[in-house]
Structure 1
Amino acid sequence: MQKVEKGEYEKPEEAINILLFLENTRRYFQAIAASFRADLDLDLGGFIPEKDELFVAGDEELLFSAFSNLLLNAIEVSCPGDRIVVSLHTTEPRVWIRIFNPKAIPAHIRSRFGQKYITAGKADGTGLGVYSARSIVEAMDGTFSWESGREGTTVELSLC
């Protein structure tokens, strides 16, 4: 992460099968979501992880760190019965991934969401999760955006 922050990170040519990555990440976080009595769903747009392949370049360990931060945030603000959805679609050469949760980002931090040390609602929050996720995705030549309102919050990433 230090290399990412200092602008010294060089994107590796490691090919990550994003379909398997997302399926494995969903499995990992499924029990955590269940402990909050929330559902964690994955919509791969018709792709089947066991049969199809869709690759992005990057560092799988760093990418898992980014997704961990984003999914934990979504799970930790969820209420029983909430549905968190990770969805994927493609527009060559990019893969677009959205993480939706039905909670809005508090209005008082929206203008600073994703900046370092900005946090809300978690007593032990450091304000580094979204900042780290955004920094990692951008270091991998990806994009990071978000929108939040009454319907909930969607974080969208693109990778290639």
Structure 2
Amino acid sequence: MEDNKQKGWDNLTKNNKYEQLLANKSYVICDSSCILVKEGKHKVIIRDEQDGITNAFDVDVMLLKNNKNVLCCIIFLEEMDEEEICYDIKSKDKDSLVSKELAASVVHEIKNPLFSIRGFLQLLDKSFVKGDSRKEYTNLMLSELDRLNNMVNQLLFIYKDKATNLQKVCLPNVIDEVIRLLKPKLDKNEITCSLESEQEGIHVLADASNLKQVIINLILNAVEASLPGNNISIRVYKEGKNVIAQIEDEGTGISQEELAKIFEPFYTTKEDGTGLGLYITKNIISSFGGSIRVVSSKGKGTIFFLEFSRT
């Protein structure tokens, strides 16, 4: 066993892979992990999940080298007391909270000038007579401004407090309201959207406003993936103690490679996409205590399944 460990260390040092490992950060590990560190200061917190015991150490690491090899590694360990551990964790939480509040404030402030710019652009657009070629430019600017505003709204959702007002919500009613809201968009793209519910009054525990945003995101995604004449079918049904909303399109589908990444932030295959829509959708559903999954293959359409707790 010792020979194997030595060989592993020799391979690491020979290839300088230790340089890509831990460096000047804090780490939380399980008690059975092997820690490999490069030179620098570290805080290592070891938690025993079974006994609930936490041990924390300030670690200083120095590597002694000659022109060819690493000769040895000198490690200084100093155990942190409970008060220091709590302070360190609280300090990091506070820094994270301040950063999020600052980001949310900046994003919110961006919305005000966007609103003003859009208002003046609309006035400018109306001042041009029908057929004026300049209307093409104002329409393009308005479209890009709306895209920027949508991105700002998505970023604001990420940074704002995620506290939700969970209450009993009639899921088919929310979906029906969204379909009516998006009817102009559906008609423009020559796409139909149908809703089927196995019974009236199927309720779930959710935040009504955020639930509406989820349905909007998924239907708009389906519209963008569909061709004129396609249908988007939505089914709501009970399955055991849960309620399922199934949103299915007849669009272009998603490859297996893309499926593995679609819920990651900023991942998008669209030219003008933000890569935040599905990331936000998953976060909202998780905040309800629900889940989302997707089934798709290239060229065969996509089905999203939203799973909620039944009330």
Is TM (by shorter chain) over 0.5?
Answer: yes
CA distance in 2 between counterparts of 1:92 and 1:109 reads: 31
CA distance in 2 between counterparts of 1:92 and 1:158 reads: 11
Corresponding residue number in structure 1 for 2:267: 118
Task: Answer yes or no: is 1:142 the counterpart of 2:295.
Answer: no
Contact 1:14/1:57 (8 A) holds in 2? yes
Read off the aligned partner of 1:56 and give its amino acid letter: V
1:5-154 map, 5 Å: 9-45=162-198, 47=199, 52-103=200-251, 104-120=253-269, 122-149=270-297, 150-154=299-303
SS in structure 1 of the partner of residue 263 of structure 2: coil
Corresponding residue number in structure 1 for 2:7: none
CA distance in 1 between counterparts of 2:241 and 2:156 reads: 26
| Higher RCO (CA-CA < 8 Å; seq separation 6+) | 1
Read off the aligned partner of 2:294 and give its amino acid letter: W
CA distance in 1 between counterparts of 2:183 and 2:208 reads: 19
Contact 1:109/1:118 (8 A) holds in 2? no
Contact 2:166/2:288 (8 A) holds in 1? no
| 1:97 Cα offset (Å) | 0.4
Contact 1:98/1:156 (8 A) holds in 2? yes
CA distance in 2 between counterparts of 1:27 and 1:63 reads: 16
Q: Which runs of 5+ in 1 are unaligned?
A: none
Contact 2:175/2:212 (8 A) holds in 1? no
CA distance in 1 between counterparts of 2:164 and 2:238 reads: 21
Question: Higher helix proportion, which one?
Answer: 2
SS in structure 2 of the partner of residue 112 of structure 1: coil
Contact 1:4/1:135 (8 A) holds in 2? no
Q: Provide Cα deviations, 1:99-140, integer angstroms capped at 9, x if missing partner.
A: 1111211454222111111111x3210011111111100111
Corresponding residue number in structure 1 for 2:131: none
| 1:90 Cα offset (Å) | 0.6
Contact 1:112/1:118 (8 A) holds in 2? yes
SS in structure 2 of the partner of residue 137 of structure 1: helix
Read off the aligned partner of 1:39 and give its amino acid letter: T
Contact 2:234/2:248 (8 A) holds in 1? yes
Of the two, which has the highest radius of gyration?
A: 2
Contact 1:4/1:139 (8 A) holds in 2? no
Contact 1:145/1:155 (8 A) holds in 2? yes
SS in structure 1 of the partner of residue 182 of structure 2: helix
Normalised to the residue count of structure 2, the TM-score between the two structures is: 0.46
CA distance in 1 between counterparts of 2:170 and 2:259 reads: 33
Contact 2:197/2:235 (8 A) holds in 1? yes
Read off the aligned partner of 2:307 and give its amino acid letter: S
CA distance in 2 between counterparts of 1:4 and 1:124 reads: 19
Contact 1:119/1:127 (8 A) holds in 2? yes
CA distance in 2 between counterparts of 1:80 and 1:2 reads: 31
| 1:2 Cα offset (Å) | 7.9
| 1:69 Cα offset (Å) | 1.1
What is the total number of aligned residue pairs between the two structures? 154
Contact 2:232/2:248 (8 A) holds in 1? yes
